[in-house]
Amino acid sequence: MKTACTRPLDVKRGRVDLSHGSGGRATAQLVEELFVRELHNEFLAQGDDGARLPRAAGRLVLATDAHVVSPLFFPGGDIGCLAVHGTINDVAVMGATPLYLAASFVLEEGYPLADLARIVASMARSSREAGVPVVTGDTKVVERGKADGVFITTTGVGILRDNVDCSGAHARPGDVVLLSGPIGDHGSAIMASRENLTFETPIVSDTAALHGLVGELLDAVPQMRAMRDATRGGIAAALNEIARQSAVGMLLEESAITVRAPVEAACELLGLDPLYLANEGKLLAICPPERAEAALAAMRAHPLGGDAAMIGRVQEDAYRFVQMNTRLGGRRIVDWLSGDQLPRIC
């Protein structure tokens, strides 16, 4: 009667089946032999419907992100580490220290367990490296053709720094716009991977957890007004959001925004604009002008901010336009997403 329980999960050759989502023994086995084994920590080990956590010494921040990236594995990462990094970054740019993650999986019947195990191992690695454990989770299975392999929603809990009050609504005319490095790596890596393009220098996603960089930056400049990780829609979308929330305009300098050579080549080939390409490890930070040098120094001292630069200024604008002085000496409006959509980039 208990034999089904004693046969271990066949992670090498097995596939996700509907019983893995039924809430019965197969679900328990998948959770224990794959998820808990990889992601193990004292909270997950509690084995209840949620995690009991310590008291949080500060105001809470909560952020959630569904991840539906396609392909699930791409140069520089996979949906597993992306789901960890993306939510850590959402919490961090609120001016908070990320503490815990919850992860919920929607799996398609027939998905290879070996690939799922790689994804979970990648989550475990990135969560360990970031010091932010996955403390609770859930798994559902849908019939073949009703999902696309694996979708992962991660939700992050953090605590706000007491002396920081960052929001997209706090940018003011005169503030400076800082960017932590070259743009478009993640979006172009995904696109190149979909189109089977190869370049002399391969394009690799920049997926990374930014909370370390953000922490150093806020230590140096607690007066930071606003931060964003420039994911879907690229720095164009992130800056337009801030412009609208703060009821300001911005003027960027194209010459200050760097794009790696292979990313530039991919953009030309595919007709993409790097301003709109997703990044998964780049920080936009807006701060008062008198703190710009201190902020840049703090960013450049961190491995993920070595190429940090001031890329523009906030200015008054009744129309809340984000504009850009181009390399050729002209000026253009950097509108919200223009041209083609890039679905399932994250």
Which one, 199 or 321, has the nearer CB to its own copies? 321
Which one, 27 or 258, has the nearer CB to its own copies? 27
Contact residue for its own copies among 229, 249, 265, 313 (CB under 8 A): 229
Q: C-alpha distances in angstroms, 224 versus 216, 290, 304?
A: 12, 11, 18
Using CB under 8 A, which residues numbered 234 to 273 contact its own copies? Answer: 237, 241, 244-245
**Both tokens of residue 165?**
């009050």
Contact window for its own copies (CB under 8 A) among 34-42, 112-120, 232-240, 283-291: 232-240
Q: Within 13 Å and on the Cβ side, how many CA atoms surround 333?
A: 11
Using CB under 8 A, which residues numbered 300 to 319 contact its own copies? Answer: 319
Other C-beta atoms closer than 10 Å to the C-beta of 287 total 27
Query: Which residues contact residue 61 at a Cβ distance below 8 angstroms, ignoring those fewer than 6 apart?
Result: 91, 94, 96, 156, 157, 158, 159, 160
- For the bound state, the minimum distance from the C-beta of residue 211 to its own copies, rounded and expressed in Å, comes to 13
* Pairing assessment for the beta strands 134-142 and 96-108 based on DSSP bridges: parallel
d(CA 331, CA 24): 61
d(CA 123, CA 140): 18
The answer to whether residue 337 forms part of the interface with its own copies (CB under 8 A) is yes
Which one, 2 or 13, has the nearer CB to its own copies? 2
Q: Cα 249 to the chain's mean position, in Å?
A: 25
The answer to whether residue 210 forms part of the interface with its own copies (CB under 8 A) is no
The answer to whether residue 289 forms part of the interface with its own copies (CB under 8 A) is no
* Location of structure tokens 């607690």: 222
d(CA 70, CA 272): 18
Using CB under 8 A, which residues numbered 10 to 69 contact its own copies? Answer: 18-19, 21-28, 46-56, 58-68
- For the bound state, the minimum distance from the C-beta of residue 37 to its own copies, rounded and expressed in Å, comes to 17
Which one, 1 or 12, has the nearer CB to its own copies? 1
Which one, 91 or 192, has the nearer CB to its own copies? 91
Number of residues in contact with its own copies, rule: CB under 8 A? 88
The answer to whether residue 1 forms part of the interface with its own copies (CB under 8 A) is yes
**Both tokens of residue 315?**
């200015």
- For the bound state, the minimum distance from the C-beta of residue 275 to its own copies, rounded and expressed in Å, comes to 12
Which one, 303 or 343, has the nearer CB to its own copies? 343
87-96 burial: b if 16+ Cβ within 10 Å, else e = bbbbbbbbbb
Using CB under 8 A, which residues numbered 112 to 171 contact its own copies? Answer: 135-143, 145-148, 151, 153, 155-157, 160, 167-169
Contact residue for its own copies among 85, 161, 211, 228 (CB under 8 A): 228
Using CB under 8 A, which residues numbered 64 to 123 contact its own copies? Answer: 64-68, 70, 90-91, 93-94, 96, 100, 102-106
* Pairing assessment for the beta strands 96-108 and 73-74 based on DSSP bridges: unpaired
- For the bound state, the minimum distance from the C-beta of residue 200 to its own copies, rounded and expressed in Å, comes to 30
The answer to whether residue 185 forms part of the interface with its own copies (CB under 8 A) is no
* Pairing assessment for the beta strands 73-74 and 249-253 based on DSSP bridges: unpaired
- For the bound state, the minimum distance from the C-beta of residue 42 to its own copies, rounded and expressed in Å, comes to 13
Q: Which residues partner with 267 through β-bridges?
A: none
To the nearest 10 degrees (0 to 180), the angle between helices 79-92 and 113-130 is 30
Contact residue for its own copies among 80, 233, 262, 274 (CB under 8 A): 233
d(CA 187, CA 204): 9
- For the bound state, the minimum distance from the C-beta of residue 18 to its own copies, rounded and expressed in Å, comes to 4
- For the bound state, the minimum distance from the C-beta of residue 337 to its own copies, rounded and expressed in Å, comes to 3
